[in-house]
């Protein structure tokens, strides 16, 4: 009996010393305080992203939102894409997000080698005023600018609309000042509305 108690005592001692080592080695005291200073939504959002990465093995899938574009009856794929673009531009204007760039990467045609190249277009949107306010807060926000929506044809011939998931940009660090948080949420609402409504082909 004493022998078993001795084993458990030894194991307990090792565990305690192990915890002390980890706490000191990785400065967990400081880390815990730093985590406490984060936005309350930071850890849940990081976990959502990490869960997608673990599930799919693809980090990109944890960082984007996507919606399948509907092709209304009587419309060609090309007509549906142009209609979606008109909708996203119109909705963007409602939120003060102007189209600042568009790149047609591929028209969805067969190339000279006889290989079909799927349709790919990237459209960029921004508010100059909001951009300047955010860059005044942190120049590193330039990495998120301008906001983009990608129109991508997959191997099945389906058209999907993609945009960056903005939750970590907004809630992934220490809480943003109230004014910036309000503006960031407005931009997020605008971009997500553009994505959803363009996919449906309807502004309503």
Whether the pLDDT of residue 22 is over 50: the answer is: no
Tokens matching residue 185: 């949420």
Looking at 29-38, 125-134, 152-161, which range is the least confident one? 29-38
Q: What is the DSSP string of 110-167?
A: E-TTS-EEEEEEEEEEE-HHHHHHHHHH-GGGGGG-SEEEEEEE-TTS-EEEEEE--H
Rounded to two decimals, the pTM is 0.82
The CA angle 108-192-43, to the nearest 5 degrees, is 115
pLDDT (tens digit, 9 = 90+) per residue, 55-80? 999 999 999 999 999 998 899 999 99
Whether the pLDDT of residue 8 is over 70: the answer is: no
Residue 20: the pLDDT is 40
Domain segments of the chain as ranges: 1-37, 39-200
Q: Which helix (H) or strand (E) holds 108?
A: strand 98-110
Select 39-200's CATH number: 3.10.105.10, 3.30.2310.20, 2.60.40.10, 3.30.310.70. 3.30.310.70
Q: Are 116 and 92 in contact (CB under 8 A)?
A: no
Q: Are 141 and 133 in contact (CB under 8 A)?
A: no
């Amino acid at each position: 009996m004493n022998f078993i108690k001795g084993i458990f005592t030894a194991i307990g001692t090792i565990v305690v010393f192990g915890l002390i080592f980890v706490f000191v080695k990785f400065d967990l005291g400081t880390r815990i305080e730093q985590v406490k200073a984060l936005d309350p939504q930071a850890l849940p959002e990081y976990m959502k992203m990490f869960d997608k990465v673990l599930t799919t093995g693809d980090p990109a899938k944890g960082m984007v939102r996507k919606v399948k574009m509907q092709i209304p009856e009587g419309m060609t794929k090309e007509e549906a894409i142009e209609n979606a673009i008109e909708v996203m531009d119109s909705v963007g204007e409602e939120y003060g997000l102007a189209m600042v760039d568009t790149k047609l990467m591929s028209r969805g045609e067969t190339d000279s080698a006889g290989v079909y190249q799927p349709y790919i277009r990237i459209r960029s949107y921004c508010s100059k005023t909001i951009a300047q306010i955010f860059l005044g807060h942190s120049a590193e926000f330039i990495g998120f600018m301008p906001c983009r929506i990608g129109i991508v044809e997959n191997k099945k011939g389906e058209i999907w609309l993609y945009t960056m998931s903005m939750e970590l940009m907004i809630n992934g660090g220490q809480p943003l000042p109230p004014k910036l948080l309000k503006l960031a949420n407005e931009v997020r609402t605008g971009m997500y509305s553009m994505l959803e409504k363009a996919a449906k082909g309807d502004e309503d």
